[in-house]
Amino acid sequence: MTMTLIDWSARISAMTDALSVPDGGFSVDPSDGSDVRTGYAVAVHPEHEHIFDGHVTSNDLHEYIARAKGALTLPGRVLGGWCDPDSGRVYLDVSVVTADLSEAMTLARETAQVAIFDFSVMASVPVAVAA
């Protein structure tokens, strides 16, 4: 399904709202704007991670998407956003979603991530230190 510009504007507004609450966020398939609902989301492009010290606007999201467009068009990539409940910082990133927790933790450690997102419990999971 292809989204219109109006659909994307509404979608970006909803994503902005999701980032306004602690541990709020989203993982969105950039090809059609649908929510990712299963697996573990891991930010895998640290070069595209952008951290805000507080509130994120729709304009901030538009600008981020434009800057990360190249990575977002790669196969299997999703647009991710998360509001860290401890710091209040908002993270925007390009993620992959995997069904395997061990793989997600390995990818997260390789890219120095603080947390992954587990869709089965709809919560962030701190990255475990390798044994």
The reported pLDDT for the residue numbered 124 is 83
pLDDT reading at 100 higher than 80: yes
**What integer is the mean pLDDT of 13-27?**
91
Spell out where the chain has E strands.
25-28, 40-43, 50-52, 77-83, 90-98, 115-118, 123-126
Could you tell me the end-to-end alpha-carbon distance of the chain, in angstroms, rounded to an integer? 43
**pLDDT interval class at 131 (50, 70, 90):** low
The reported pLDDT for the residue numbered 23 is 82
**What integer is the mean pLDDT of 95-103?**
95
**What integer is the mean pLDDT of 104-122?**
91
Q: How many CB atoms lie within 10 A of CB 91?
A: 21
Domain definitions of the chain by residue range = 5-126
pLDDT reading at 7 higher than 80: no
Contact (CB, 8 A) for 111 and 41: no
Block residue for tokens 């979603």: 97
The reported pLDDT for the residue numbered 1 is 44
Block residue for tokens 């979608």: 11
pLDDT in tens, 37-92: 999 999 999 899 999 998 899 999 999 999 999 999 999 899 999 898 889 999 99
